[in-house]
Amino acid sequence: MAKVEIYTWQSCPFCIRAKALLDRKGVSYEEYPIDGDQEARLKMTKRAGGRRSVPQIFIDDQGIGGCDDLYNLEREQQLDKLLNLPN
């Protein structure tokens, strides 16, 4: 299974929605809550190629973007492949 990391704010509805999709798929992930942590936010922004919005999701160290990007991958039937999930 792929390594999944997600930078979040605790009360962010998009973060909650992204985690819900990963949870439904039974995917474990490392969550980095960055509420009020400027240093962590800077690290995320650098990793995400300048994107500052949350969530920022990484699959096997590849930035895939945010919640809408995650759901688009699911809709296009590409997410399971990225996550190395069985067919």
Quick one: pLDDT at residue 51? Answer: 95
Flag whether 78 is in a domain: yes
CATH code, domain with 74:
3.40.30.10
Flag whether 24 is in a domain: yes
Parent domain of 23: 4-82
Q: What is the pTM of this model?
A: 0.94
Looking at the chain, the whole-number percentage of residues with pLDDT higher than 90 is: 95
pLDDT at position 87 over 90: no
Q: List, for residues 45-80, the tens digit of each pLDDT value.
A: 999 999 999 999 999 999 999 999 999 999 999 999
Flag whether 38 is in a domain: yes
Token duo for residue 31 = 């969550």
Number of domains in the chain: 1
Stretch (H or E) spanning 4: strand 4-8
Flag whether 87 is in a domain: no
